[in-house]
Structure 1
Amino acid sequence: MYLSRVEIDTKNRQKIRDLSHLGAYHGWIEQSFPDEIAQGERKRHLWRIDQLQGRTYLLLLSPDKPDLEKLEKYGRPGTAMSKDYEPFLNRLAKNQVLRFRLTANPAFRGGKSSKHPGKIIPYFAVDKQLGWLENKAENGGFKLLSADVVGHDRPSLRKQSRVSLNRTVYEGVLQITDLSKFRNVLTEGLGREKAFGMGLMTVIPM
């Protein structure tokens, strides 16, 4: 696994004029793996947009290393970087306490019956968003020690589309209870809409 990052060149209007919807980000990321395109093989790429000290970054987790030149298509020159994520994953241990950040799409399926699969309904209230994360924790191999919703918006899925996704940003502290399940959360993501910037959790030791 590789964890990559590039600073988005938000001050260059010509560069970012296409980045008005989540589909554009998805396309940018897919194009950063030309070998996969050539082989007709599309692997899962988890990503999210982070704000740090007034700058905007694209954070990307992928099985293979991206083409850094293509990853800088909408980024500031020289800011794309990538590192092997496996050594960090291998240092994780059961009962370890970590700070986390997660961008996710908290939702539930309503109106489900034997004849109808139901409709995906997003959670908008903060307590419901936190409840969603608490419910995911046990199967995800971790226990929440503290958690806050630090951001929420509804970005458009496609250009000129009325469909928007519920994007919620969480930060807090957790403890690993099942290492295998937790590693799976870090590498496979949590929740829905992973192709569109949701589900990526990152952690740092306390």
Structure 2
Amino acid sequence: LGTAITKKYDDFLDKLYVGEILRFRLTANPTRKISVPGQRQGRIMPHITIAQQKKWFLDRTKSNGFKIVGTQENHPEFDIVNREWKLLRHKGSGTARLSCVTFEGILEITDLKKFKNAMINGIGREKAYGMGLLTVIPM
């Protein structure tokens, strides 16, 4: 009792700058939407292979204000450090499986506004189930 504390996140966000290099971790739910004939909305399907999951992540870096730092420009250095399926139980409607993939590596901030938005709002789907949280630490 009494051991939890709250800190202002604004102080951390205000110190970030374009060009800053940070170590990151992101646990996400890499998915794609598949069109279904005759239906207004498509089906959401998980990416299964490591290659698909890495491509899903790389496709979101620019729109979230960062790029992956690596030894070669064409082969950015980051890795998937965990892949698992979480079982979600829904009252009355059974269970669902949720693909959880954890990415780690080093990034460089390229667009401060977009990056802060990603830090505040997360990346990808299923945020209500703990996905999408981008965490960083200075190098």
Bucket of the pairwise TM-score, normalised by the shorter protein: 0.7 to 0.9
TM-score normalised to the size of structure 2? 0.85
Unaligned runs of 5+ in 1: 1-68, 70-76
Structure with larger RCO (C-alpha < 8 A, sep 6+): 2
Higher strand share: 2
Question: Residue in 2 aligned with 1:92?
Answer: 16
Question: Residue in 1 aligned with 2:104?
Answer: 171
State which of 119, 125, 128 in structure 2 corresponds to 1:192. 125
Q: Aligned partner of 2:109: which letter?
A: I
Identity of aligned residues (%): 41
Query: Tell me, what secondary structure is at the counterpart of 1:127?
Result: helix
Distance in 1 between residues matched to 2:36 and 2:58, nearest whole Å: 22
TM-score normalised to the size of structure 1? 0.59
Distance in 2 between residues matched to 1:100 and 1:196, nearest whole Å: 20
Unaligned runs of 5+ in 2: 70-76
Question: CA distance change for structure 1 residues 121 and 85 in 2, over 3 Å: closer, same or farther?
Answer: same
Question: CA distance change for structure 1 residues 114 and 137 in 2, over 3 Å: closer, same or farther?
Answer: farther
Q: Which moved more, 1:134-143 or 1:150-159?
A: 150-159
Whether 1:149 and 2:80 are equivalent positions in the alignment is yes
RMSD value, Cα = 1.9
Higher helix share: 1
Aligned pairs for 1:1-206 (under 5 A) are: 78=3, 80-111=4-35, 116-145=40-69, 146-158=77-89, 161-206=94-139
